[in-house]
Structure 1
């Protein structure tokens, strides 16, 4: 079975392997950032996607061919998803970028704290089913949504795509405790394909936290920060365009709380057996590819499943397994570059220890890339040295390196590059590392320090780049196409 969800963003990318460059657009050591265009993209001023329909796709209805679903940034469906999550002194509006930026950074801090706890310290809530847990998380979660069909006939639902978790779930009726979502809550009583999993099923045995109620398997997913979902594990049909994927194990959540406001649930794309990718592994080889839409762009992009998702000509980097955190995708980052020069940082800063601590995770749910403080400061200081001609301003939110670009048409900025084990170098377009944070022309370097040894490559740095995961062979690929 092969599937495709498509997202397109027009940005440039260069990938270099050793002395041979596989390039789409070759960057010099410095780039020109189009300030008005970047500010407009950051504001999310393009039309939203609140009325997006399921794509017809190219499938023939039995799961063959291509599966296409639009992937949209959460700001696209503002205010439908974000209005319930964003409150900025009661002055939030669709046209103002600043409130959404601050809300996004609050979500991001909570997301990173969650990853740190679950990976570095193994702090996961152990709740009894039906117990009341108050997370206090009032911000939305997940930066990217896809619209899929759940059940038979299919009910269209927005779900968060998350490469850092495994369970696929949606909120379900009857809802003991549910947060706000933009679509009607799924009612399994109206689905002909819904089937509750029994407690003795081998599918139930795959769950880490299980319970049993009236013979049905109960699931629980806790996200480390107190947000959670609880309910019944079921087999259900998911629809991607005209392609039907039957008997997918999903959570039917009756008690849900936390960082998911707007979306109906979550499409887990992690490396575990209960993720959507893991469940399709026997048919697709655990292969998938995605492109994430840039902020404010009117274009769409792709999430594609199957061996056909593996592009020819990509620069491939080995995935690194971590037995302590098998759901996460670790890569071998060995260095950083600014302006064509490698920053003097020891490779050990990015290396995963024998006990599974540290390392570098690629995550769709984290917006801003984090580096350990030592690496971040060396990287930041090098960037500041090469942008001495630009007017600096005070830091904003989690960013400490910001510039006043009000009135500029374009500015010259140094390139930013990631050096990977084996030789590939990924050089980012300027809009992936210098981003607008308000409506006044303030731009900030979109990186932040990490208090632990863990590094996270976030979705801002991934935007517009075709990224492919070959789980069966243990590789992640970059390019060769921009989205």
Structure 2
């Protein structure tokens, strides 16, 4: 569930993933250890129909990691907060910054299956004063009559969390079983949370580039301000996990890597890159329909949005070419599918291959990444349109690529990889 400070209205979709793992005792990885870590993302899907929204993320192996699970198109990251540690599952979201979870007392909250975090039971919990500089790291931080820093944080899906900004010890468990303890992490203790959350989602883990995201608060403690993800495709068996890696060891390099620069904007949260155009088979479609230079930073890389969203003028041209190159008749009589381009078939379509032409290189997308099955016997084109001039590169298209976000070098790197393999 991405946070957009502008009037961006992304498309929603849905998938479910839960992460379960046995925690073994191992010496904790200390901050400033110059050692990275990785965590697994495990998904149990219950696909909903295409107009809803998803989010996702993954990791590598011997570098720092934290458990993540996906739920209806969203991936949930497992971490613990407080002393003693209290386990939560929050949506891993590169499109927002704030880390938050539902807290008691919860006056207006959505239903969740697991118990809510009770700050009074944690010896390491402390509210942030509204006089503190930390209160102003979040644009919506305001002072309460009790001099606590209250916040309101909204998302493009019309979901909202309200509560108190606080500091806590956050503990993650890597894929090697070692715990990673981070002290003094700023997070939101949500007492009023509304929107399209389901009962397995206990909050959101913001992985954007802003000052209060998990990535920014980790900083260079683990050998560099960077992370990488490897997401399994949508219709992968639910027992196969995705991964996300943090710090040293999460670099994406070697043969076949395509790197594109991040584009700096006033919005520090979102990861903007430049898309020059899209090819459907051998047909090249310029981003804005002409040979003019495209605007820099016209696409957002968002693990929290499943479909790729294109400006309407580009989307219409892409869909027209896909129709021309798929030798099947689209479904036109199913109201559940709406206006989505869908086909009746027992297996994924044979083509065409789409190519995203980023500044710096090309990323090829097979049908596995561009068509998803919202229900048995149906595959739908995993793209949609937006009235905005900027688009979103969603997590369907990000699957089966090792994608590295290097916040120090300000580049995003893509490397084709079978993310169902744990190597």
With the length of structure 1 as denominator, give the TM-score of the two structures: 0.71
Residue 21 of structure 2 aligns with which residue? 53
Alpha-carbon distance between aligned partners in 2 of 1:307 and 1:235, rounded to the nearest angstrom? 25
Q: What are the superposed Cα offsets for residues 32-69 of structure 1, whole Å, 9 maximum, x if unpaired?
A: xxxxxxxxxx998xxx747x136559874424444343
Deviation at residue 259 of structure 1 after TM alignment = 2.7
Residue 435 of structure 1 aligns with which residue? 372
Matched, 1:318 2:261: yes
Alpha-carbon distance between aligned partners in 2 of 1:67 and 1:459, rounded to the nearest angstrom? 22
Maintained 8 Å contact 2:137/2:211: yes
Residue 194 of structure 2 aligns with which residue? 257
Alpha-carbon distance between aligned partners in 1 of 2:286 and 2:167, rounded to the nearest angstrom? 51
Maintained 8 Å contact 1:142/1:260: no
Q: What are the superposed Cα offsets for residues 173-210 of structure 1, whole Å, 9 maximum, x if unpaired?
A: 12222211232101112212112122222211212112
Residue 412 of structure 1 aligns with which residue? 350
Matched, 1:179 2:147: no
Alpha-carbon distance between aligned partners in 1 of 2:348 and 2:367, rounded to the nearest angstrom? 11
Matched, 1:452 2:394: no
Alpha-carbon distance between aligned partners in 2 of 1:145 and 1:54, rounded to the nearest angstrom? 17
Q: What are the superposed Cα offsets for residues 58-109 of structure 1, whole Å, 9 maximum, x if unpaired?
A: 8744244443432234xx1x6xxxxxxxxxxxxxxxxxx6xx422x62346x
Deviation at residue 392 of structure 1 after TM alignment = 2.6
Q: 1:186 to 1:278 in 2, by over 3 A?
A: same
Residue 366 of structure 1 aligns with which residue? 305
Q: What are the superposed Cα offsets for residues 439-469 of structure 1, whole Å, 9 maximum, x if unpaired?
A: 2x12121111222212111111112211111
Alpha-carbon distance between aligned partners in 1 of 2:292 and 2:194, rounded to the nearest angstrom? 36
- What residue ranges of structure 2 are gaps of 5+ in the alignment? 1-13, 56-70, 174-178
Maintained 8 Å contact 1:349/1:372: no
Where does 1:52-71 land on structure 2 (aligned, <5 Å)? 52-53=20-21, 55-56=23-24, 60-63=28-31, 64=33, 65-71=35-41
Q: 1:411 to 1:362 in 2, by over 3 A?
A: closer
Q: 1:70 to 1:349 in 2, by over 3 A?
A: farther
Maintained 8 Å contact 1:369/1:446: yes
Q: Which of residues 125, 134, 138 in structure 2 aligns to 1:194?
A: 125
Deviation at residue 308 of structure 1 after TM alignment = 2.3
Deviation at residue 303 of structure 1 after TM alignment = 1.5
Q: 1:384 to 1:330 in 2, by over 3 A?
A: same
Maintained 8 Å contact 1:237/1:244: yes
Q: What is the root-mean-square deviation of aligned Cα atoms in Å?
A: 2.8
Q: What are the superposed Cα offsets for residues 231-258 of structure 1, whole Å, 9 maximum, x if unpaired?
A: 1211111111111111111111111111
Matched, 1:467 2:403: yes
Maintained 8 Å contact 1:197/1:203: yes
Q: What are the superposed Cα offsets for residues 374-404 of structure 1, whole Å, 9 maximum, x if unpaired?
A: 11121112122221x2233227635532222
Alpha-carbon distance between aligned partners in 1 of 2:316 and 2:387, rounded to the nearest angstrom? 12
- Compare the two structures and name the one with the higher helix fraction: 1
Q: Which moved more, 1:369-378 or 1:393-402?
A: 393-402
Alpha-carbon distance between aligned partners in 2 of 1:348 and 1:170, rounded to the nearest angstrom? 47
Q: What are the superposed Cα offsets for residues 108-152 of structure 1, whole Å, 9 maximum, x if unpaired?
A: 6xx9xxxxxxxxxxxxxxxxxxxxxxxxxxxx8861111111112
Deviation at residue 417 of structure 1 after TM alignment = 1.0
With the length of structure 2 as denominator, give the TM-score of the two structures: 0.80
- What residue ranges of structure 1 are gaps of 5+ in the alignment? 1-41, 79-96, 112-139
Residue 147 of structure 1 aligns with which residue? 78
Alpha-carbon distance between aligned partners in 2 of 1:285 and 1:481, rounded to the nearest angstrom? 23
Maintained 8 Å contact 2:36/2:248: no
